């Protein structure tokens, strides 16, 4: 009789350690292979890394998106007095709500985010891209593509789409940056939490006033469109609407900026794929989709078990935290042939870079429009584009996001 030694137990690795921030993929691949549903005492959470297992969680109503309470629990005691209103705002974000509440809130924005509605901003996006590149991407020059191109372009398009007056832009994007610190877990000190909580309140106050202005003077923007459809005050209250607009504001820039920079980095480190996009510019779409799969701007989403459930033979208890590690699921060889290869012509299985099902990213069409436009224009109009410091790249210390701190390039 032949006996087999038990499979080795994978050593725990802290996902916010510098080496895991720099490159988490070898560890996540090994974890997925050995235990696609793994309890991590270090993170006090289940790490779900297999594609099938992540999909099962995204479909299961026992897996809840409500994580406002864990976010509030992380706030230092000294900043709690500022937190009550701020977390009331977060509780109105549809991303933190489950069906049927999520469905009711999301329906308000469904038409405005449809691909045909977003397509109206194609000409503006192309014009804004060429204008920014003319100033920031001068041939022969060197610059930080992240701060010079990847961040301002989504901000320009999103502000136009939401209807933010240009004069209000600096305050609007400052508040968004601070809110991101809170929601993405990068705030650490009490002073940072206070700044983030106050920014969320200020953002809601500003957007509430903007909604009142758009009621009196409608424009050609998201707020005016939704108000014109007559649902606010009917299926969704005005306070809920303004709260959801703070989510739209937060989500509008950060993810798309990181998607642009990550895609450019992927192409500049793979000359054959860069050459393919330059020869066939329509492959910029494929480059963006492959980045979403292989090294996208979102590494995971956090869920909670609403009740006991079985997942892949493991029992998850009510209240357990669950990390849906899409960065690992998108490299699952059971779903993606040769999953570590970046291929702008890849077709077939659907990646989870924008989520799936009820919580599929409502802004996916807008993010794709902006990212594809910027990547295509950059790589096709700048034949000298190259990394300026390939060995000096650093990544943001975030559990959820995958974003560079800077991307120095030669134009």
Residue with tokens 């933010």: 164
pLDDT at 332 over 50: yes
Read off the tokens for 102: 């999520």
pLDDT at 138 over 90: yes
- pLDDT tens-digit profile of 24-78? 999 999 999 999 999 999 999 999 999 999 999 999 999 999 988 777 777 788 7
- Output the CA–CA distances (angstroms, integers) from residue 321 to 29, 39, 74, 182, 308, in the order listed: 21, 10, 14, 18, 12
**CA–CA distance, 218 with 211 (Å, rounded to integer):** 9
Read off the tokens for 181: 């610190």
Reported as a pLDDT band with limits 50, 70 and 90, residue 180 is confident
Of the listed ranges 136-150, 177-191, 249-263, the least confidently predicted one is 177-191
Q: Is 174 helix (H, G, I), strand (E, B) or coil?
A: helix
Burial 1-20 (b: 16+ CB within 10 A, else e): eeeeeeeeeeeebebeeeeb
Within 10 A of 221 (CB to CB), how many other CB atoms are there? Answer: 18
Give the highest mean pLDDT range of 11-15, 100-104, 219-223, 277-281. Answer: 277-281
* Phi, psi dihedral angles at 340 (to 5 degrees): -85, -5
The reported pLDDT for the residue numbered 363 is 92
Residue with tokens 């060197």: 142
**CA–CA distance, 117 with 163 (Å, rounded to integer):** 15
Enumerate residues 6+ apart whose C-beta is below 8 A from 255: 297, 298, 367, 401
Enumerate residues 6+ apart whose C-beta is below 8 A from 223: 162, 163, 210, 211, 214, 245
Residue with tokens 């109105």: 92
DSSP secondary structure string for all residues of 201-250: HHHHHHHHHHHHHHHHS--SSHHHHHHHTT-BTTTB-HHHHHHHHHHHHH
Strand partners, 323: 47, 302
Report the pLDDT averaged over residues 275-286: 98
Exposed, middle or buried, 190 (CB in 10 Å: 0-12/13-18/19+)? middle
Closest by alpha carbon to 168, among 136, 203, 135, 195?
203
Instruction: Please provide the size of the chain in residues.
Output: 411
Q: What share of the chain is helix, strand, coil (3-state, %, to 5)?
A: 55, 10, 35
**CA–CA distance, 183 with 71 (Å, rounded to integer):** 7
Terminal alpha carbon distance of the chain: 65
* pLDDT > 70 fraction of the chain, expressed in percent and rounded: 97
From the centroid of its chain, how far is CA 180? 11
The reported pLDDT for the residue numbered 7 is 46
The reported pLDDT for the residue numbered 5 is 41
DSSP secondary structure string for all residues of 336-405: SSSTT---TT--SSPP-TT--GGGS-TTHHHHHHHHHHHHHHHHHH-TT-EES-GGG--B---SSB--BS
pTM: 0.92
Enumerate residues 6+ apart whose C-beta is below 8 A from 263: 287, 288, 291, 371, 375
- pLDDT tens-digit profile of 110-136? 888 888 989 999 999 999 999 999 999
DSSP label at residue 146: I
Domains annotated for the chain, with CATH where assigned, are: 18-410 (1.10.630.10)
pLDDT at 346 over 80: yes
């Amino acid at each position: 009789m032949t006996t087999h030694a038990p499979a080795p137990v994978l050593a725990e690795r802290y996902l916010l350690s510098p080496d895991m921030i720099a490159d988490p993929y070898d560890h996540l691949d090994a974890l997925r292979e050995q235990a696609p549903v793994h309890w991590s005492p270090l993170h006090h959470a289940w790490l779900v890394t297999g594609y099938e297992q992540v999909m099962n969680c995204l479909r299961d109503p026992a897996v809840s998106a409500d994580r406002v309470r864990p976010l509030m629990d992380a706030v230092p005691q000294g900043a709690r007095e500022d937190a009550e209103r701020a977390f009331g705002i977060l509780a109105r974000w549809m991303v933190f709500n489950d069906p049927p509440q999520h469905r009711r809130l999301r329906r308000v924005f469904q038409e405005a985010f449809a691909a045909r509605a977003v397509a109206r901003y194609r000409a503006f996006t192309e014009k804004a891209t060429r204008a920014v590149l003319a100033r920031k991407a001068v041939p022969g020059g060197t610059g930080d593509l992240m701060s010079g191109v990847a961040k301002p372009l989504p901000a320009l398009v999103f502000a136009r789409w939401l209807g933010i007056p240009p004069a209000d832009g600096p305050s609007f994007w400052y508040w968004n940056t601070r809110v991101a610190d809170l929601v993405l877990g990068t705030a650490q000190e009490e002073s940072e939490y206070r700044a983030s909580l106050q920014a969320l309140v200020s953002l809601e106050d500003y957007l509430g006033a903007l909604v009142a202005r758009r009621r009196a003077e409608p424009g050609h923007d998201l707020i005016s469109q939704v108000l014109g459809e007559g649902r606010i005050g009917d299926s969704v209250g005005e306070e809920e609407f303004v709260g959801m607009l703070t989510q739209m504001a937060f989500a509008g820039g950060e993810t798309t900026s990181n998607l642009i920079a990550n895609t450019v980095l992927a192409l500049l480190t793979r000359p054959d794929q860069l050459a393919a996009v330059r020869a066939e510019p329509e492959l910029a779409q494929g480059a963006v989709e492959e980045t979403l799969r292989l090294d996208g701007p979102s590494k995971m989403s956090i869920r909670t078990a609403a009740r006991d459930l079985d997942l892949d033979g493991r029992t998850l208890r009510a209240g357990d935290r669950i990390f849906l590690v899409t960065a690992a699921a998108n490299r699952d060889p059971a779903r993606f042939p040769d999953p570590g290869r970046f291929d702008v012509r890849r077709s077939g299985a659907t990646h989870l870079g924008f989520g799936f099902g009820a919580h599929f990213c409502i802004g996916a069409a807008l993010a794709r429009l902006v990212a594809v436009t910027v990547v295509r224009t950059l790589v096709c109009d700048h034949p000298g584009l190259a990394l300026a410091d390939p060995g000096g790249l650093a990544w943001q210390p975030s559990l959820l996001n995958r974003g560079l701190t800077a991307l120095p390039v030669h134009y």
